[in-house]
């Protein structure tokens, strides 16, 4: 027992040292002076929310005067540690010294750390939530002599409240508790990193269970059965065949500046790991007071815990609500544009927790969900709501019974009371706290079948840590006591999915603004859910394959089962090609799949919604998705998909110039990469039969290195001279979300408007715009920024409310900004704005459709007023250059279908005078024009050869071995066949090294012996023929047969080297190479540039 006690105490001391933040401090003594004493203190943690008096003492050196001793904290006089008043630290010092005395040479005093913010609640409205981060830290408290020397010192941690842990303290504290638990008990504790934040910090998940066997059974047996055969699992549990099982409870925090959530999770982890019981007071449903004593070993027989201390490590580090990209992660759980939410939501899919508690702040009236209407029709509320209410009440009663708080409220119940009694006045929240948006973590968990609760603690202090701690304890007790009932309901949710059952028991929870039942929006169908969604990737039925692949990655990450068709399937008049991705809606995660693929609902009659409700990935990410309602049409015609890989870009053969169709965001990224590396990019200003205004023309050779990196819709452009504007690399001024998005698209972004070439939704930009700097404005805010710059410009929309919606627009096809889009597109807004007037000089780019059904989904009261109004225009007058959009091109990085409107506006503003792709005209081809001119221009277009400066080609100049091989490698795209070469005369730094290496690798040529290649030696005609014949071995035309008479016509046939005779014969018969005369081949003659061009041109005709 003694050994166990010592180890346990050692681990406990490790934890205590972490919580007090002890730090080694340097000594500022001058050499030869006596060392500073250790200041004796009765405590070394000061709280910002609890006044604390420290008793300090040290031995006073002889000759020191008590009255001349001063004190510093963190090297600053105590008088400089001022309280926060009037929006700044201007009040009296919150650290004071009193009761100083000396007895027997021992100095003693009382040092008071009062409340630096004048309150025991750091969440008061007058305080910024991250304000306390500027004071946090462990600083040296020091007594200073009259001559400025340190007499005694000790570290004192200044913390928001007693149990607060910084991010850097968190993992060592977890490890210390885990080490102590390993000595005290045999509970299973495992902590892993489930992802990284934007700034590279670890996101930690701790699992606490009875044993590893419990967790393994859940992952390997229980969870697969939940997803694939929940009906049988229910039967096996009821019959006892399945045996003991445990269900997961997930504790979560996503806003780490709502600090008590993080610390309550850690404190609960300590209890689960180290204690034998958790006891708390509560009030039973009948009103009687009661005490609950949970035996943790008994708890772990039925429940195991998943603890994510915070989804947002960067926010904890910086004391911020948002992540390092300035995104609120609690609005990103379905969009999943940020690395933190992608990591956490993947784990939610992996574990499918039964209960999910997301710990937030702050609501002075202690709010615990479930939420008010409107509700999301994809959630099976009838299987969740009653249990959520029971769990919420259990949590609330425990939260107030063990703390100073005397009230909690449940928005769902408050709303219900206000409906039943219109005179009822809620102390809490009775409306405007809905779960129509799945962006919230707890609501997102509900789409996975969890009892998902957001808990909003009242204050930012230790008391709210306790309130949340005991609420979690009550939830634990509730799940343990009702395990079978709760798990059976969760399994029924999955069973409905597999049966694709649209149960009308959900309908009563779906009400309108008048609280009248409207049910699920079935739109005349018997089932709200379709049988399938089909996402093709083949052109003709898919406008954006890139986003389809991204969507499949999303589904696989989120536990949605995906199939791929093995044959063409025809439904009605539509043929879906083999290789199309299929979402069979007969699956456990049917609701989540429908949530992100269906059109959405129109909730415009609601008084308020709290966040974006539109998911609709097909419209907001910009791909085609087809709902199929015919049962079994894909049965036996698909295979399961477990992973997906994008293969990059393929081109139909070699060409000089390539058109990159401006159909996805990879096109923008590729163009920006080319521009950044100094390559030429032309943007078409007018469409052709197959290409649109706004498409990009680039050199094949320039694009080739990027083909594996991007999935582009690209074709050979042909020999028609493209007309358009040359693009150039530009610097864009933007802040916040636009900055992140533009950087993701490959633009160079700055916060300095003066250094930028183009401005995007910036403030205070009028002077720069009037001086000629282009500006792109979008949304209500952007239009407000430029309203005084455009005469006759007027717009309408709500000034504050975030009206949201997907709507149809008519898009102009004759402009490079909108030309790449279809003539009718569904666009998105979060500001509910539209343009009512533009000046005559403006060019309208798009209008909101005039059709009665133009509005698709969202929350936009009064949207009918926008019908037929102007959506976007450009204005170029009086040295002002503006592109203006009423819709919000960027919103939380989800509306990616609209990114190209922004990018095209930037390209349009950056374009120089209209130009054509430069076509070189050589003035020295007269002597060879008749037989070599077309071939030279053909290879020039391909980028396989170039001139010799100015307008000269020098067609009769000899061609070297290296030059000839370079022409062939470029023309026939053989550069992938690299081989390691070590010729002494081919340095790796030479321009021709990769071409010679490729040629050797492709077996076109060898060295000349003795480790040499002779790259600069002129190639002979017989060498040229031999190498050309080797090229043909890579084509479908090989093998070619030579006639017996092929060489007989040449009187110098014996002069042809034996190794080259077959090659000359084959190429002569194929009319690829001719003699210098009908009877003379001249094998040793030096080949010239014109001859090489003609031969390569003829090979191309046979090769392809």
pLDDT tens by residue, 290-330: 999 999 999 999 999 999 999 999 999 999 999 999 999 99
Reported as a pLDDT band with limits 50, 70 and 90, residue 666 is: very high
CATH for the stretch 731-916 = 3.40.50.880
In angstroms, how far is the first alpha carbon of the chain from the final one?
84
Strand 794-796, strand 843-848: pairing = unpaired
Q: Which of 198-207, 238-247, 684-693, 876-885 has the lowest mean pLDDT?
A: 684-693
Q: Is the pLDDT of residue 116 over 50?
A: yes
Q: What is the predicted pLDDT for the residue at 945?
A: 78
The set of residues, in sequence order, having a beta carbon less than 8 Å from that of 516 and lying 6+ positions away, is none
Q: Is the pLDDT of residue 1040 over 70?
A: no
> Mapping DSSP to helix (H, G, I), strand (E, B) and coil, where does residue 554 land?
helix
Q: Is the pLDDT of residue 5 over 70?
A: no
The set of residues, in sequence order, having a beta carbon less than 8 Å from that of 899 and lying 6+ positions away, is 665, 668, 741, 745, 889, 890
Q: Which of 22-36, 779-793, 831-845, 1016-1030 has the lowest mean pLDDT?
A: 22-36
Q: What is the predicted pLDDT for the residue at 762?
A: 95
Strand 70-73, strand 303-308: pairing = unpaired
Higher pLDDT, 577 or 942: 577
Phi/psi of residue 233, nearest 5 degrees = -65, -40
Do the Cβ atoms of 857 and 820 come closer than 8 Å?
no
Strand 804-811, strand 758-760: pairing = unpaired
Strand 794-796, strand 834-837: pairing = antiparallel
Distances, alpha carbon 226 to alpha carbons 217, 232, 488, 640, 1040, in Å? 12, 9, 10, 18, 62
Q: Is the pLDDT of residue 29 over 70?
A: no
Please give the CATH topology (third level) of the domain spanning 2-159.
Immunoglobulin-like (2.60.40)
Q: Which of 184-188, 859-863, 900-904, 1095-1099 has the lowest mean pLDDT?
A: 1095-1099
CA distance 1004 to 1013: 13
Q: What is the predicted pLDDT for the residue at 12?
A: 38
| Stated length of the chain | 1104
CATH assignment of 657-726, among 1.10.1740, 3.30.70, 2.60.40, 3.30.200? 3.30.70
* Residue 889 in tokens: 């091109």
DSSP letter assigned to residue 725? E
Q: What is the predicted pLDDT for the residue at 27?
A: 43
Q: Is the pLDDT of residue 977 over 50?
A: no
Burial bucket for residue 1025 (CB in 10 Å: 0-12, 13-18, 19+): buried
- 755-772 mean pLDDT: 95
Percent of the chain beyond pLDDT 70?
Answer: 93
Higher pLDDT, 437 or 87: 437
* Residue 909 in tokens: 């503003």
- 771-786 mean pLDDT: 96
- 992-1001 mean pLDDT: 84
- 216-239 mean pLDDT: 98
What confidence tens digit (pLDDT) does each residue in 536-580 have? 999 999 999 999 999 999 999 999 999 999 999 999 989 999 999
Do the Cβ atoms of 990 and 984 come closer than 8 Å?
no
What confidence tens digit (pLDDT) does each residue in 825-855 have? 999 999 999 999 999 999 999 999 999 999 9
What confidence tens digit (pLDDT) does each residue in 118-153 have? 999 999 888 876 789 989 999 999 999 999 999 999
Reported as a pLDDT band with limits 50, 70 and 90, residue 950 is: low
Reported as a pLDDT band with limits 50, 70 and 90, residue 70 is: very high
Q: What is the predicted pLDDT for the residue at 906?
A: 97
Q: What is the predicted pLDDT for the residue at 914?
A: 35
**Mean per-residue pLDDT over the chain, rounded:** 92
E strands, 735-879, in order: 748-750, 758-760, 775-778, 794-796, 804-811, 824-829, 834-837, 843-848, 855-859, 870-877
Do the Cβ atoms of 774 and 816 come closer than 8 Å?
no
- 74-93 mean pLDDT: 94
CA distance 178 to 183: 9
Q: What is the predicted pLDDT for the residue at 14?
A: 38
Reported as a pLDDT band with limits 50, 70 and 90, residue 933 is: confident
What confidence tens digit (pLDDT) does each residue in 259-277 have? 999 999 999 999 999 999 9
CA distance 852 to 1054: 85
CA distance 834 to 836: 7
User: What are the extents of the domains in the chain?
Assistant: 2-159, 188-504, 522-641, 657-726, 731-916, 929-1103
Residue 1008's nearest CA partner among 1023, 998, 1021 is 1023
Q: Which of 96-100, 161-165, 934-938 has the lowest mean pLDDT?
A: 934-938
Q: Is the pLDDT of residue 1102 over 80?
A: no
Q: Is the pLDDT of residue 22 over 50?
A: no
Q: What is the predicted pLDDT for the residue at 4?
A: 35
CA distance 1103 to 1099: 6
CATH assignment of 188-504, among 3.40.30.10, 2.60.40.790, 3.40.630.10, 3.20.20.480? 3.40.630.10
């Amino acid at each position: 027992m003694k050994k166990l006690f010592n180890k346990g105490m050692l681990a406990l001391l490790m934890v205590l040292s972490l919580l007090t933040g002890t730090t080694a401090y340097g000594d500022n003594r001058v050499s030869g002076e006596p060392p500073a004493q250790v200041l004796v203190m009765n405590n070394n943690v000061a709280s910002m929310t609890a006044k604390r008096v420290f008793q300090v003492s040290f031995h006073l050196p002889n000759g020191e005067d008590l009255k001349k001793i001063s004190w510093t904290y963190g090297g600053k006089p105590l008088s400089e540690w001022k309280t926060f008043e009037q929006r700044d630290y201007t009040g009296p010092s919150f650290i004071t010294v009193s009761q100083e005395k000396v007895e027997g040479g021992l100095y003693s005093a009382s040092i008071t750390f009062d409340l630096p913010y004048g309150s025991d609640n750091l969440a008061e409205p007058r305080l910024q939530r991250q304000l306390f981060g500027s004071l946090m830290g462990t600083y040296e408290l020091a007594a200073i002599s009259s001559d400025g020397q340190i007499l005694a010192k000790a570290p004192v941690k200044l913390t928001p409240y007693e149990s607060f842990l910084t991010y850097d303290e968190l993992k060592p504290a977890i490890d210390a508790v885990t080490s102590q638990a390993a000595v005290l008990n045999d509970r299973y504790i495992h902590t892993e990193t489930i992802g990284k934040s934007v700034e590279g910090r670890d996101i930690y998940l701790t699992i606490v269970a009875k044993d590893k066997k419990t967790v393994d059974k859940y992952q390997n047996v229980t969870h697969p059965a939940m997803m694939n055969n929940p009906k049988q699992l229910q039967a096996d549990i009821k019959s006892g065949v399945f045996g003991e099982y445990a269900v997961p409870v997930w504790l979560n925090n996503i806003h780490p500046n709502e600090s008590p959530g993080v610390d309550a999770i850690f404190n609960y982890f300590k209890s689960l790991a180290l204690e034998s019981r958790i006891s708390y007071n509560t009030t039973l449903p009948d009103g009687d007071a009661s005490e609950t004593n949970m035996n943790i070993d008994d708890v772990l027989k039925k429940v195991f815990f998943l603890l994510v201390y915070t989804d947002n490590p960067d926010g904890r580090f910086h004391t911020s609500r948002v992540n390092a990209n300035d995104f609120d992660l609690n609005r990103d759980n379905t969009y999943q544009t940020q690395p933190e939410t992608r990591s956490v939501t993947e784990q939610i899919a992996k574990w499918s927790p039964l209960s999910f508690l997301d710990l937030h702040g702050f609501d002075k009236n202690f709010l615990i969900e479930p939420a008010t209407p409107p509700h999301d029709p994809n959630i099976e509320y009838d299987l969740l709501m009653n249990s959520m209410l029971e769990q919420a009440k259990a949590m609330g009663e425990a939260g107030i019974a063990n703390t100073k708080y005397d009230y909690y409220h449940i928005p769902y119940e408050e709303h219900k009371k206000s409906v039943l009694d219109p005179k009822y006045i809620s102390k809490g929240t009775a409306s405007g706290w809905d779960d129509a948006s799945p962006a919230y973590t707890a609501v997102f968990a509900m789409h996975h079948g969890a009892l998902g609760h957001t808990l909003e603690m009242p204050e930012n202090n230790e008391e709210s840590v306790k309130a949340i701690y005991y609420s979690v304890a009550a939830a634990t007790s509730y799940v343990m006591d009702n395990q079978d009932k709760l798990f059976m309901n969760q399994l029924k949710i999955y069973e409905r999915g597999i049966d694709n059952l649209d149960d009308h028991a959900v309908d009563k929870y779906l009400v309108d603004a008048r609280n009248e039942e409207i049910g699920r929006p079935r739109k005349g169908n018997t089932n709200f859910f379709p049988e399938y969604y089909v996402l093709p990737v083949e052109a003709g039925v898919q406008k954006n394959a890139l986003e389809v692949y991204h969507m499949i990655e999303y589904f696989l990450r989120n536990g949605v089962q995906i199939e791929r068709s093995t044959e063409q399937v025809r439904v009605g008049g539509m043929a879906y090609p083999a290789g199309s991705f299929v979402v069979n809606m007969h699956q456990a995660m049917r609701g989540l799949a429908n949530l992100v693929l269906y059109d959405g609902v129109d909730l415009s009659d609601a008084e308020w919604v709290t966040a974006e409700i539109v998911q609709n990935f097909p419209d907001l990410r910009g791909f085609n998705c087809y709902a199929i309602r015919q049962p079994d049409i894909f049965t036996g015609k698909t295979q399961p998909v477990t992973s997906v890989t994008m293969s990059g870009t393929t081109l139909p053969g070699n060409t000089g110039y390539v058109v990159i169709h401006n159909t996805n965001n990879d096109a923008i990224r590729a163009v920006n990469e080319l521009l950044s590396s100094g390559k030429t990019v032309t943007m078409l200003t007018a469409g052709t039969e197959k290409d649109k205004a706004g498409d990009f023309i680039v050199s094949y050779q320039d694009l080739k290195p990027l083909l594996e990196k991007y999935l582009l819709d690209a074709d050979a452009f042909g020999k028609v001279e493209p007309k358009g504007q040359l693009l150039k690399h530009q610097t864009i001024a933007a802040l916040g979300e636009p900055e992140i998005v533009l950087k993701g698209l490959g633009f160079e972004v700055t916060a300095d408007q003066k250094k930028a070439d183009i401005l995007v939704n910036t403030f205070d930009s009028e002077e720069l715009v009037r001086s000629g700097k282009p500006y792109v404005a979008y949304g209500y805010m952007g239009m407000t920024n430029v309203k005084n710059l455009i005469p006759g410009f007027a717009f309408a929309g709500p000034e504050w409310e975030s009206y949201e919606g997907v709507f149809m627009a008519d898009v102009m096809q004759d402009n490079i900004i909108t030309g790449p889009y279809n003539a009718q597109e569904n666009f998105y807004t979060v500001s509910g704005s539209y343009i009512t007037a533009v000046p005559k000089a403006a060019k309208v780019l798009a209008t909101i459709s005039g059709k009665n059904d133009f509005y698709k989904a969202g929350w936009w009261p009064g949207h009918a007023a926008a019908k037929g109004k102007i959506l976007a225009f450009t204005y170029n007058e009086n040295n002002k250059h503006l592109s203006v959009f009423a819709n919000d091109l960027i919103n939380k990085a989800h509306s990616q279908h609209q990114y190209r409107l922004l990018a095209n506006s930037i390209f349009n503003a950056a374009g120089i005078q209209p130009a054509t792709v430069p076509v070189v005209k050589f003035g020295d081809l007269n002597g060879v024009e008749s037989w070599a001119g077309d071939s030279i221009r053909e290879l020039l277009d391909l980028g396989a050869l170039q001139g010799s400066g100015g307008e000269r080609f020098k067609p009769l100049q000899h061609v070297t071995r290296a030059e000839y091989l370079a022409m062939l490698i470029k023309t026939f795209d053989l550069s992938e066949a690299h081989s390691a070469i070590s010729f002494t005369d081919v340095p790796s730094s030479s321009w021709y090294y990769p071409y010679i290496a490729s040629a050797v690798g492709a077996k076109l040529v060898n060295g000349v012996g003795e480790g040499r290649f002779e790259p600069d030696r002129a190639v002979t005609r017989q060498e040229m023929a031999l190498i050309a014949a080797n090229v043909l071995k890579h084509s479908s035309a090989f093998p070619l047969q030579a006639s017996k008479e092929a060489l007989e016509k040449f009187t110098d046939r014996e002069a042809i080297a034996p190794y080259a005779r077959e090659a000359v014969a084959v190429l002569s018969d194929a009319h690829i190479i001719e003699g210098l005369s009908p009877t003379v081949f001249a094998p040793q003659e030096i080949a010239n540039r014109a001859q090489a061009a003609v031969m390569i041109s003829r090979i191309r005709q046979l090769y392809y």
